[in-house]
Chains A and B, each alone.
Chain A
């Protein structure tokens, strides 16, 4: 599963995209909802936990924490940005 990163999330991760393992080969639990994905990412990048408003889009639409995600979904992390 590939995640597109925007704003500060790009800086936190240090790359414009991020791959999340979708096979259980790694033995780790695979995120199945937006909430689980946020937790998964937050464990790997604790700085992400500090963001009070972090929009997650699944297939080009804003998603709620309980929405399901699949390996073929296109996911984007979109924090607010403030520059002008």
Chain B
């Protein structure tokens, strides 16, 4: 084995055999954000042979606080392209497979089946449940990582007949009960820690060293530096999934193209003329609205057509960001040539920016 990996091949329990296993492995990382990037940087550095990259977002200013692979020069570029460029420079031996898409029920099985392991580095429940179900159907293990404020959760699901995500959380939470990830916030360093732990678990699964975090949920609290592990068992019912659900909606953050309120404010302040649809009720609209917006209530969306006819990009806003998301789901199929962006956090968030 070449000297590049000598520091790990000299480890008795890892050795050249471990290195060979990594080199022969194919890992899909879903999401090139706070969790996916640190996981990828280590998997790539350590010599995983094939890495699948998947995301469709572009680099935004508010990403830089935690997504440390990206720089200010990358703003506005596609995450997929930037990540590919930087990881190729980091390790030219790695084969990269680029998936310029989000994971959907229509592509999940086709894509995941070609990999040995999936790293769930997403930021929303629908995709997490979709990854779980697809991995159960295809009998692939996946490394789970998730964040909340100062806290991180890690586990390995569906490994060696072990428990799945649904054994821990049988039902997908509705968007109302757990706050939108973009609204909730996370301290920048926490995803770095959790994503790195995911890389560690991935390497353990691929090479067979150590004790894989299967049947255990690791809870890390950044404020106290306390980690506890919770044991849980497989429910055989959850292994019987034979096909994906018809729908993993209601989708929450990430899957409708969106713009952060901060970035939207910058756009409003610029002299650029933009189309903004406010989909709240006329009463809400008359109470307070943005100067550049027109009122097209969610239950009268047909009134939007006259406003968006000449536009390429359309921004949609409501009070909190949920109705505008619904509106985009309705508008998008009708106007396939236009790009709709959901203003995250809606008027609530905008008010905090310019009271």
Contacts and interface: CB of A to CB of B under 8 A. Distances in A.
Interface of A: 4, 6-8, 10-11, 16, 50-53, 55, 57, 60-62, 76, 78-84
Contacts, number: 109
B146 interface: yes
B286 interface: no
A78 B170 CA distance: 13
> What 3 pairs between A and B have smallest CB-CB spacing?
A84-B123, A62-B232, A83-B147
B168 A55 contact: yes
B350 to A, nearest CB: 22
A83 B146 contact: yes
Nearest to A54: B169
B231 interface: yes
Chain B, interface size category, equals 35 or more
A6 to B, nearest CB: 6
A6, A8, A82, A83 pick with most chain B CB within 10 angstroms: A83
Contacts of A11: 149
B171 interface: yes
19 contacts: A6-B153, A8-B148, A16-B221, A51-B173, A52-B171, A61-B231, A78-B230, A80-B125, A80-B146, A80-B168, A81-B153, A83-B146, A83-B148, A83-B149, A83-B181, A83-B186, A84-B31, A84-B123, A84-B191
Interface string B77-96: 00000000000000000000
Contacts of B219: 6, 76, 78
Contacts of B11: none
B123 to A, nearest CB: 4
B60 interface: no
A81 B147 contact: yes
B231 A62 contact: yes
Contact of B181 (A61, A62, A82): A82
Contacts of B122: 84
B168 A81 contact: no
A40 to B, nearest CB: 20
A50 B176 contact: yes
A55 B169 contact: yes
Contacts of B1: none
Given A8-B177, A52-B177, A55-B168, 6 more contacts: A7-B178, A52-B174, A80-B169, A82-B173, A83-B34, A83-B191
B10 to A, nearest CB: 34
A52 B172 contact: yes
B178 A82 contact: yes
Nearest to A81: B148
Contacts of B151: 6-7, 10, 81
A51 B148 CA distance: 15
A55 to B, nearest CB: 6
B141 interface: no
Contact of B146 (A16, A53, A84): A84
A53 B148 contact: no
A81 B178 contact: yes
B217 interface: yes
Q: Counting chain A CB atoms within 10 Å of each CB, which of B168, B177, B217, B252 scores highest?
A: B177
Contacts of B148: 6-8, 81-83
Contacts of A81: 146-148, 151, 153, 178
A83 B176 contact: no
A68 to B, nearest CB: 17
B148 to A, nearest CB: 4
A78 B217 contact: yes
A84 B36 CA distance: 8
B35 interface: yes
Contacts of B236: none
A81 to B, nearest CB: 4
Contacts of B170: 53
Contacts of B169: 53, 55, 80
